[in-house]
Structure 1
């Protein structure tokens, strides 16, 4: 994807940009969750950055040309005229296709029977219902799986590769470990590490 840097000046703008990216399935780089992290926003000018993950910086480094919040929102209105694409796991995608086929029952019956599963998917119930009802503006696809690296340390404990830390390249928190698609994770791998798929 193309990197995007958005300049925001208010907490409301901050939340609006994050809402757009959360709906597209992106998370914070180090937190692996959908959270506004309002404590990070201090009221001064900010730049929200999206590449593989969401990150924030008070200034711009390098050649990333920022866009203003108003321009970003105008682009979103244009993009909304096209199909919204949501990324889900392979198992969630297969389950949604099964519900959509609703063999032997009505679509409403299939939705009711699978309501707990539908609530579990974090893209929002409205988008799922629209997809199941054949709305051409809503599309689902399988998210590229993520992987992490692990090894056994000197104490015999399982530890995970962490390229974020300046002090040690390992963490015992698998949710805080470095994760990436297979091609990217292979760049960091060596004989000391083993590969595992992120659930």
Structure 2
């Protein structure tokens, strides 16, 4: 990774740079609390935050602001680089609708919405941090509805539920749904016969 040193002017900028790096999995080296914002360092005059300086994937700072390498950038340029890095998470339609409903709420109902739906939000497998950042307006996070997949099932002569699969291009069946043929609805409909039923795949 390229060495990066960011010049900040405010405590908000300081926190924002650290937020980005913490989210990416970086941390302070040789510190008890590796993800502390170290505001005292800003208050003592430090305005330069570094990443991967000296070849280590760790966060550093300059108390005397004397970094003189070629990789010093201003906060605005750093944030412009981050805006290009959008992380997209795929969720179900129901999960997407819930996230959007909470995001569109006003301030007080926003907090109530998060509180009321916390257990549902926790069950979305992308992590609470990404969801809260998105709800808070972070434009580097986006959610989209993943395409719903379907499979075909029927009951065999033994009364067991089986699922369609393919063996060398020929339809067959299997009892384990995890190995069933799955596809979008339009494709699944092409293989449906009166013997087979359509269901949503997990």
Give the structure-1-normalised TM-score.
0.51
Q: 1:168 to 1:190 in 2, by over 3 A?
A: closer
Please give the root-mean-square deviation of Cα atoms over the aligned residues, in Å: 3.0
Q: Where do 5+ consecutive residues of structure 2 fail to align?
A: 1-80
Q: Which residue of 2 aligns with 1:169?
A: 172
Q: Which residue of 2 aligns with 1:123?
A: 126
User: Which of 80, 96, 99 in structure 1 is aligned with 2:99?
Assistant: 96
Q: Deviations over 1:117-154 (max 9, x none)?
A: 11100012111111101111111111111100112211
2:144 matches 1:141: yes
Maintained 8 Å contact 2:83/2:139: no
Q: 1:126 to 1:165 in 2, by over 3 A?
A: farther
SS in structure 1 at match of 2:151: strand
Q: Deviations over 1:49-85 (max 9, x none)?
A: xxxxxxxxxxxxxxxxxxxxxxxxxxxxx99824222
Q: 1:79 to 1:182 in 2, by over 3 A?
A: farther
Q: Which residue of 1 aligns with 2:201?
A: 198
Counterpart Cα distance in 1 of 2:134 and 2:181? 33
Q: Which residue of 2 aligns with 1:113?
A: 116
Maintained 8 Å contact 1:149/1:189: yes
Counterpart Cα distance in 1 of 2:88 and 2:193? 35
SS in structure 2 at match of 1:105: helix
Q: 1:171 to 1:165 in 2, by over 3 A?
A: farther
Counterpart Cα distance in 1 of 2:115 and 2:91? 20
Counterpart Cα distance in 1 of 2:183 and 2:168? 16
Q: Where do 5+ consecutive residues of structure 1 fail to align?
A: 1-77
Larger Rg: 2
Counterpart Cα distance in 1 of 2:105 and 2:167? 45
